Structure 1
Amino acid sequence: MTAPNHLWLPAPTDLTLLPDEINVWRINLDQPEPQLQNLKNTLSSDEIARAERFHFPQHQQRFIAGRGILRSILGRYLSIKASEVQFNYQQRGKPVLAETFAKSGLEFNLSHSQELGLCAVNCQREIGVDLEYIRPVSDLEALAKRFFLAREYEMLRSLPSDQKQQAFFRYWTCKEAYLKATGDGLSQLEQVEIFLTPTEPAKLRISQDWSLFELAPANNYVAAVAVANSGWKLKCWQY
């Protein structure tokens, strides 16, 4: 299922998350300096330390924007200030809400590429999102052979040259969204089977207990959301 660009709407002021909904937020990571400072003021000391470890100022700024806006979004659902949101981190570094907020049932995941970010939110179910900017990959077929299953690799190879790039990144985002939802690492990429064609939406072959949504957040970007269970309604908000 693909959500075209025009579905990214301003979020309502009375934001609610129904039990059968997934909310996906599109985030601009290139924020003006005054807004960036406001966002930085909501971060914890360990988040600021992480930002400062980036060598390039642009990467620092995008990290601050991503984490600050994530806090702002989660704060809206929790009815608290962005600075009051607290995180724990799973074994592979995936942020989750601290135990203090366990009763909310809120699950989320964040991904970013270049100047864009996506944040996916739902209630109670494991969720993962991945976003990729479609860029030239010199050894695309070699990477596909290494990380994809044989059927996926053969499908990619069969495509005309001008379609291979997009198909590669579609496979990649679908696999990584699922692995981020389950908390598994990229070493498992070749164990997650995806069925897709240039004209059909992707499907997860690994399990019937998962839903997979493909998104088109902007030109030259592809993204995917994987979430446990089925019957979800997708809403796409522009932050």
Structure 2
Amino acid sequence: MSDWYNQDSYTELAENDIHIWLNYLNVHEARIKHLYPLLSNKEKERSERFKFYKHRKAFIASHGFMQMVLSYYIDASAGEIEFTQTELGKPSLIEKQNSNNIQFNLSHSGNIAILAVCKQHALGVDIEYAERKIEWQGISKRFFTPNEQSQLFKLHESAQRDAFFQVWTRKEAHMKVTGQGLSLAPSHFEVTVPPSPAEFIGNMKTVDNHYYKMKDIRLPDMFKDYFACLSADFDFDNITQFIHS
């Protein structure tokens, strides 16, 4: 599952498989001008609300990338894709363009965007850039469960920061697969802590009888400062990974 293929290696998406797509966002201005028209009117409006150009650029690049990739799977070309969303804000494709019931989830951080695609089932994906300056110790004490904190701070000091980002991507991926997003407090459920493989352990406050399968995404060596995780509500057979350019 650690192999990454170029976009020309795209193959049909099997019923119980997931495709992961990776894209570099720090692109030339000419590329941004090419991608901007692909965005929906709502996406264009959102892009205009960013105060800083670098954030607007990342939004346009990531959503333009998403539009291009989704066009491989549905009954619409890039630039014609229409979205709807749940009350909690999770986007989905409109039914008339989505005869194969394609489901997707997008995340971006730093200069990288990641997109997960499958059929029929919910999924969530998250990527985090570990070199950005944040108070990760304080965040873990505020948003991790007592057991997660205990496991994290038992690790050798040199391993704690990377483990924090792995736990955070696991939590974000789970929050997204449930469709609840930020309305599900990260301290209200528990995931495994490295070196244990990614796994959803359970909710601390409410009952959730859904099945979830979680997988850390091993990124290419050139992106060693990033961590990513996938969560889905079905027992997927395989992940195929592509780099889009």
Task: Answer whether TM exceeds 0.5 for this pair.
Answer: yes
1:1-239 matches, cutoff 5 A: 4=2, 7-12=3-8, 15-135=11-131, 139-186=135-182, 187-198=184-195, 200-206=196-202, 209-217=211-219, 218-239=223-244
| Equivalent pairs, count | 234
In the aligned structure 2, how far is the partner of 1:222 from the partner of 1:140?
A: 14
* Contact 1:29–1:115, Cα closer than 8 Å, also in 2: yes
* Contact 1:141–1:157, Cα closer than 8 Å, also in 2: no
Quickly say closer, same or farther: Cα 1:179–1:154, change in 2 above 3 A.
Answer: same
Comparing 158-167 with 180-189, greater Cα deviation is found at 180-189
- Tell me the C-alpha RMSD between the 2 structures: 1.9
Q: What percent of counterpart residues are identical?
A: 30
* Contact 1:29–1:117, Cα closer than 8 Å, also in 2: yes
Unaligned runs of 5+ in 1: none
In the aligned structure 2, how far is the partner of 1:79 from the partner of 1:88?
A: 16
Match of 1:41, SS?
Answer: helix
Listed one character per residue, the Cα deviations across residues 22-47 of structure 1 (whole Å, up to 9, x for unaligned) are 00000111222222211111112221
Match of 1:85, SS?
Answer: coil
* Contact 2:116–2:123, Cα closer than 8 Å, also in 1: yes
In the aligned structure 2, how far is the partner of 1:138 from the partner of 1:31?
A: 25
In the aligned structure 1, how far is the partner of 2:210 from the partner of 2:105?
A: 21
Quickly say closer, same or farther: Cα 1:14–1:26, change in 2 above 3 A.
Answer: closer
In the aligned structure 2, how far is the partner of 1:62 from the partner of 1:142?
A: 27
Comparing 220-229 with 183-192, greater Cα deviation is found at 183-192
Using structure 1 for the length normalisation, give the TM-score.
0.91
Structure 1 residue 173 displacement after superposition: 0.6
* Contact 2:39–2:79, Cα closer than 8 Å, also in 1: yes
In the aligned structure 1, how far is the partner of 2:151 from the partner of 2:134?
A: 18
Structure 1 residue 57 displacement after superposition: 1.3
Structure 1 residue 140 displacement after superposition: 2.8
* Contact 2:10–2:242, Cα closer than 8 Å, also in 1: no
In the aligned structure 1, how far is the partner of 2:148 from the partner of 2:133?
A: 17
Comparing 209-218 with 62-71, greater Cα deviation is found at 209-218
Listed one character per residue, the Cα deviations across residues 57-80 of structure 1 (whole Å, up to 9, x for unaligned) are 111111111111101101111153
Comparing 85-94 with 205-214, greater Cα deviation is found at 205-214
In the aligned structure 2, how far is the partner of 1:44 from the partner of 1:183?
A: 22
Quickly say closer, same or farther: Cα 1:189–1:79, change in 2 above 3 A.
Answer: same
* Contact 1:8–1:26, Cα closer than 8 Å, also in 2: no
* Contact 2:199–2:214, Cα closer than 8 Å, also in 1: yes
Amino acid at match of 1:193: E
Amino acid at match of 2:123: I
Unaligned runs of 5+ in 2: 203-208
Amino acid at match of 2:193: L
Listed one character per residue, the Cα deviations across residues 65-110 of structure 1 (whole Å, up to 9, x for unaligned) are 1111101101111153101111012223221111223432100000
In the aligned structure 2, how far is the partner of 1:109 from the partner of 1:76?
A: 15
In the aligned structure 2, how far is the partner of 1:79 from the partner of 1:215?
A: 29
Structure 1 residue 11 displacement after superposition: 2.8
Structure 1 residue 138 displacement after superposition: 5.8
Structure 1 residue 229 displacement after superposition: 1.4
